[in-house]
Amino acid sequence: MMKHIADGKNLEKNWQKVRNLQTQAKILIFIQSHNITDMAQLVQTIETINKKFKDLADNIRKAERRLDTLSQHITQYESRRAHRAVYNEYAKLIDPKKREAYYAKHSAEIEAFKDARDYLGAVMNGRTDPPPIKDWKAEEEADSRKIRRL
């Protein structure tokens, strides 16, 4: 029994040595592949790689934020379109009782239309309707491809 425990500890020590050798081999390959001959070059190479990584991470975050924004724009546009007929029917009603009954039955759709209309009004910032949905969808697709490439 004690021999098995000792063998397990030896195996762990041996495996750690192998992992250390693997790490050292990777470092050597990295140094050789970048033609690094001194510590200053190593530091410069690592700083360059870290800057590229940071720039890449920043670009991904920017693209993801834009994708979120575009997704919200598209969702609101589709909500407005989906609920427009219900809202228009509601807006036509003149009789207060009929209007109130219609609203009670369709309040979710009416409010969804109003929310989407207000959201898109703010996004469009006074520009003409309709929103540039085709452009938004194309940009969303392009940004998605860009993130996948990164």
Confidence class for position 90, pLDDT limits 50, 70, 90: very high
Please report which confidence band the pLDDT of residue 8 belongs to, taking 50, 70 and 90 as the band edges: low
Q: Record the pTM.
A: 0.66
Residues 68, 46 within the same domain: yes
Residue 73 burial by Cβ neighbours in a 10 Å radius (0-12, 13-18, 19+): buried
Instruction: Assess whether 76 and 48 both reside in one domain.
Output: yes
Number of structural domains found in the chain: 2
> Which DSSP string corresponds to 13-79?
HHHHHHHHHHHHHHHHHHHHHTT--SHHHHHHHHHHHHHHHHHHHHHHHHHHHHHHHHHHHHHHHHH
Residue 80 and residue 22 in one domain: no
Check whether residue 105 and residue 88 sit in a common domain. yes
pLDDT in tens, 41-82: 989 999 999 999 999 999 989 999 999 999 999 999 999 999
